[in-house]
Structure 1
Amino acid sequence: MHELTIESLTTLILDVPLTRPHKFATTSMVAQPLLLVRVRTAGGVTGYGEGVVPGGPWWGGESVETMRAIVERYLAPVALGRRVDEIPGLMRHFERVVSGAHFAKAAVDVALHDAWARSLGVPVHTLLGGAYRDGIEVTWALGSAPVPEIIAEAEHKLASNLNHSFKLKMGALDPADDVARVLAVTEALRGRAGVRVDINARWDRLTALRWLPQLAAGGVELIEQPTPREQIEVLAELNHLLPVPIMADESVQSPHDALEVVRQRAADVIAVKTTKCGGLARSRDVVAIARAAGLSCHAATSIEGPIGTAASIHFACTQPGIDFGSELFGPLLFAEELLIEPLRYADGRVALPTGPGLGVELNPDAVAAFTRD
């Protein structure tokens, strides 16, 4: 048997507490469930991937529980006996067996890349064509506390030189209250840090037409996904109206989605999550389409743990088209460290890991401590 042959593909669910509640437009979380996917080869090499969604199935319909069922019942039988360097063929076969399930497929895709790169003794970014940069800027997502506490959190990040731009979630409050809250933060940070907002597709067209111009006039530098994902024409209308960029997130979950956004000029920036796109190859296709059309790309987060974050860093650092920074802060929200050696955050950036595979090593004691029974 060839040493790259896949001997096992197994999963674990972890529940890792956060340092503070993280709020989305429709939900909030105090712990993040992670699905660890573990691929082991005949040569004795183990690679890890991570299945994670931002706050549960409200975002894209998947959860760690559904991902585990898909991976173990449908994807693992396809992979066993194949080789970890057959990634394009395996991903194509997965498409024939399971429709959608991008987050689950991304977890397996990353585990295959990690195992293959470790077998060769090279970093994952080598498999992706080589590093273009050695790190990437990180925007910090501020919490949902009262305004003075949010401002204090931003001031601490600025004073510590940890982050230079910030994002606020919107969509959970009455629009007037939401806008007033954001503009108070924007004014407090004016001239020192950029402020962006993410509405998580929760406003309708009329609400967006009424309130988004006020956000732009008040100094908000970017508006992420204000309206429902399928309403590309509404996103295009808003993008043409506003003097600040619109970023498409929920609206772009495939290369075809990216093409439609390009056709309608519905956004100036595309949020690329290796999770929602179904892995590294499909994410690369999204970036290529955006770059060919002159759109920027942003390395976004699903609040991944260190495995998923490391994979996204490797990806972002190989892509010149990801030219609008990142939100790859996920591990900084975790109250407990899962790695033996943490990812390196400093000077507003996160550094590209340099070791074999993903360049990170899980702490087995931490994994055991948070594994769900």
Structure 2
Amino acid sequence: MRIERIELIHIRMPLVGAFRTSFGIDLVRDTFLLRVLTSDGGQGWGEYGGDPDPAYSSEFSAGTEIVLAEHLIPRLDREVTAARVGPAVRGVKGHRMAKAVLETAILDAELRSYGMPLRTYLGSVVDRVPAGVSVGIMDTIPQLLEQVGAYLEAGYVRIKLKIEPGWDVLPVRAVREAFGDDVPLQVDANTAYSLTDARHLRRLDEFGLLLIEQPLDTDDLSGHARLAGLIDTPVCLDESIGSARDAAAAIAMGACSIINIKPSRVGGYLEARRIHDVAAAAGVPVWCGGMLETGVGRAANLALAALPGFVLPGDTSASNRYYAEDLTEPFVLDADGCVAVPTGTGIGVTPDPQVLERYTVARRRLL
């Protein structure tokens, strides 16, 4: 496969409602798509998982654009496959989100040229995946209960509550009291706590949570291992897991018993599959997290979430969880609380040109 052109498409899409976490509030999805054009007339798409600001991650959109244009793309041969992207850009330290969007766009183009769906390439084993939903931090408990109730009524099979100091035990208790112990419930701290909060976090044990996600700093594996021994709620790592090597180390240290795999955060779907394999070999369940993706990123995540080790519902919500209008055909929640895995070649979807144009704020040719 020969690459003829790589284009960056900056998009800005309004969310259906504010999404607040411990590190900020999102009102719009401000990101970019990468489009790869090949010499045979084919194309491939990837969606950048980061944000304009380095809040969730040290990476951010403007910096990633520079890294792609000046450091990653120049290292590629025009004749390239997705499997050769990683070795080609290994000399650039870090920047996993930048590497992920580049590898994904090339992988999509490559698989389309073969007529192969991403789900087949990755080794997916199911046609539909159970969908959970992530609920942001609210101003009041009544607002939270109204939102959770609406998601349960819509059919979501698992609720994840974002938490932070001052918004943790009380909202979790309120949700349990309102909706019962049978609702699969988990919490996500996004690194908002320290080990000195262990006694406080132990108060969450009474609620029978599936897990507490990333309570401590990204680089604090030893702290997570100690916390896991102090609380009964299973500890899940998210931001701490950037590679299969990280996953193996965290599992060996006892720093987690569950892993959230976000392809954009770990360098792409090839590394995401390796993390899945490491976890499966150790008997550690995994699930697929989300980054407010449009249909472009969501389609690829669904293919990953259909692998056998993904035994917990992920943040693979329907399109209308975040967007009134998606860039692709909308993903919908079926009666059983599942979302269908795309069956088309590559990632299985292509942005609607007219919709994409409505939300495009800039274009730049990188190659």
What TM-score range do you get, normalising by the shorter chain?
over 0.9
The letter for the 2-side match of 1:87 is A
Per-residue CA distance 1:299-353 (angstroms, 9 max, x = gap): 1112222111111111221x21122221122733433423342223222111100
Distance (whole Å) between structure 2 residues aligned to residue 264 and residue 334 of structure 1: 36
- With structure 2 as the length reference, what TM-score do the two structures score? 0.93
Identity of counterpart residues, as a percentage?
A: 28
- Name which of 332, 339, 353 aligns with 1:344: 332
Could you say which residue in structure 2 is the equivalent of 1:90? 85
Secondary structure class of the residue paired with 2:168: helix
Residue 236 of structure 1 corresponds to 225
- Cα gap change, 1:286 to 1:336, in 2 (>3 Å): same
Match of 2:309 in 1: 321
1:170 to 163, 177, 202: 163
Choose between structure 1 and 2 for higher RCO, CA contacts under 8 A separated by at least 6 residues: 2
Q: Which moved more, 1:355-364 or 1:235-244?
A: 235-244
Does residue 282 (structure 1) correspond to residue 276 (structure 2)? The answer is no
Residue aligning to 1:264: 253
- Residue in structure 1 matching 2:194, options 204, 211, 235: 204
Deviates more, 1:283-292 or 1:329-338: 329-338
The amino acid that maps onto 2:192 is R
Structure 2 residue 155 is matched with structure 1 residue 155: no
Name the SS for the 1:270 alignment partner.
Answer: strand
Q: 2:179 aligns with which of 181, 189, 202?
A: 189
Q: Compute the displacement of 1:55 (Å).
A: 7.5
Correspondence for 1:51 among 48, 52, 55: 48
8 Å Cα contact 1:166-1:193 kept in structure 2: yes
Return 41-50 or 177-186, whichever deviates more. Answer: 177-186
2: distance between equivalents of 1:25 and 1:328? 21
Tell me whether 147-156 or 38-47 shows the greater mean CA deviation: 147-156
Which residue number corresponds to residue 129 of structure 2? 136
Equivalent residues in 2 for 1:240-255, closer than 5 Å: 240-255=229-244
Return the TM-score normalized by structure 1: 0.92
Residues 158 and 336 of structure 1, relative CA distance in 2, 3 Å threshold: closer
Question: Residue 365 of structure 1 aligns with which residue?
Answer: 354
- Please list every run of at least 4 consecutive aligned residues from structure 1 whose deviation after the TM superposition is greater than 4 angstroms: none
Matched residue type, 2:359: F
Task: For 1:103-114, list aligned pairs within 5 A.
Answer: 103-114=97-108
Deviation of the 1:248 alpha carbon: 0.5
Q: Classify 1:330/1:351 alpha carbon distance in 2 versus 1 (closer, same or farther; 3 Å).
A: closer
Equivalent pair of 2:158/2:313 in contact (CA under 8 Å): no
Offset, 1:122: 2.1
Asked if the contact 2:161/2:188 (under 8 Å) is kept, the reply is yes
Query: Alpha-carbon deviation of 1:254?
Result: 1.2
Change (3 A) 1:269 1:165: same
Q: Which of residues 13, 18, 27 is equivalent to 1:16? A: 13
Aligned to 2:365: none
The residue type paired with residue 9 of structure 2 is L
> Structure 1, unaligned stretches of length 5 or more?
none
Residue by residue over 1:221-262, the C-alpha shift from the partner in whole angstroms, topping out at 9 and shown as x without a partner, is 311111111111111122123222110111111112111111
Q: CA deviation at 1:371?
A: 1.3
- RMSD (Å) for aligned C-alpha atoms: 1.7
Q: Name the SS of the counterpart of 2:58 in structure 1.
A: coil
Q: How many residues align?
A: 360
| Amino acid in structure 2 at the alignment position of 1:51 | Y
